[in-house]
Amino acid sequence: MATIPLLANWLPGTGLWPDHWPLALQLLLAIALADLGITLVHYASHRSPLLWRLHAVHHSVTRLYGFNGLMKHPLHQLLETLGGTLPLLLLGLPVEVASLLAFSVSIQLLLQHSNVDMRIGGLRHVFAWAPVHRLHHLKYGSTGDVNFALFFPLWDRLLGTVLYLPGYALADDDMGIGDRPDYPQAYLAQLREPWVNGDAHAPAVLPAGLCQALADRT
C-alpha cells in the first residue's frame, strides 16, 4: 500500500483527475474506483486457475483475524494494487489523495477480516465489513465465490455475487480451502505453492446448518 503515494508522485498522469474537488470527494471517488478495480481482479482470481493459484494463499487461513487481509502472495498483491490504482494514477491522482487511499485500504482490510461480532444491520448493504466478507472465506467449493468487494457490496450486486446469511454463524472449521486441507502454512512454502502441483482432495461437504441457511436466504 505504501507504494501508491510513491507511484502517484512519480507518474506524470494525464491531468484528468478532478483535483479541484474537495478532498473528501476526491477520496470517495478514489476509493470507489479502486474498489471496482480490486473487485474485478478478485473476481477473476476465482475464475482463472492461474490467478487462483496465487490467490489461494489468502484463502488458506482457517480463522479470521485482522491481519489476514494482508496475507497474500506478493504477486497477487501486485495484481490487485495495479488493478485498483493504475487507472487512478494515469488520471493524475494527487499524492495527498493517494496517501489517504492507501491508509483507507489498509484499515478496511483490517475491518473486513477482523474476528469481531459486528452488529451492522442494514449497513451490510452499504459496507463490505466482516459480517459480509466472512462468507467469502467459506471452504465449500464455489459457495465462497461471493462478496468479492473490498469496500462496497454494490459491485457484488452488479456482478450477481452478493450473499447475506445473517442467521448463520461461521463455525471454526468453515474456512480454508476445502479440497486442500494440507495447504502449507509456512511463508516460504506458500510462496512456492502456486508453482507446484499439490494433491487435491475431495471437496468439503456443506454442513446441514449452512445448507439450511442458503435455502432460507432472502
Instruction: Provide the residue ranges of all domains of the chain, joining segments of one domain with +.
Output: 3-216
Q: Report the alpha-carbon distance of residue 84 to residue 93 in Å, rounded.
A: 12
- Cell numbers 468487494 correspond to what residue? 149
Angle at 63 between CA 31 and CA 208, to 5 degrees: 105
Q: Would you say how long the chain is, in residues? A: 218
Tell me: pLDDT of 63 over 90. Answer: no
How does residue 218 score in pLDDT terms, banded at 50, 70 and 90? low
Q: What is the pLDDT of residue 76?
A: 97
Tens of pLDDT along 159-197? 999 999 988 888 878 999 998 888 998 989 999 999 987
Average pLDDT (55-83) is 93
Contact between 143 and 77 (Cβ < 8 Å): no
For the chain, first and last CA: distance in Å? 36
Average pLDDT (45-59) is 95
Tell me: pLDDT of 217 over 80. Answer: no
Taken in order 162, 167, 169, 174, the sign of the CA dihedral is negative
Tens of pLDDT along 114-124? 988 788 888 88
Tell me: pLDDT of 13 over 80. Answer: no
- Mean pLDDT lowest for which of 99-103, 124-128, 151-155? 124-128
Share of the chain above pLDDT 70, in %: 96
How far, in whole angstroms, is CA 59 from its chain's centroid?
10
- Cell numbers 480463522 correspond to what residue? 63
83: region left, alpha or beta (phi > 0 left; psi from -120 to 50 alpha): alpha
Q: Report the alpha-carbon distance of residue 146 to residue 129 in Å, rounded.
A: 14
Q: Report the alpha-carbon distance of residue 182 to residue 28 in Å, rounded.
A: 41
Helix (H/G/I), strand (E/B), else coil: 175? strand
Q: Name the residue with higher pLDDT: 99 or 119.
A: 99
Tell me: pLDDT of 87 over 90. Answer: yes
Q: What is the pLDDT of residue 1?
A: 67
Tens of pLDDT along 196-214? 876 566 677 888 888 888 8
What DSSP line would sit under 29-66, residue for residue? HHHHHHHHHHHHHHHHHTT-HHHHHHHHHHHT-SS--G
Q: What is the pLDDT of residue 33?
A: 98
Closest CA to 42 of 4, 71, 99, 81: 81
* pTM, entire model: 0.92
- Cell numbers 441457511 correspond to what residue? 213
**Residues linked to residue 138 through DSSP beta bridges, in sequence order:** 175
Q: What is the pLDDT of residue 201?
A: 66
For the chain, what is the mean pLDDT?
91
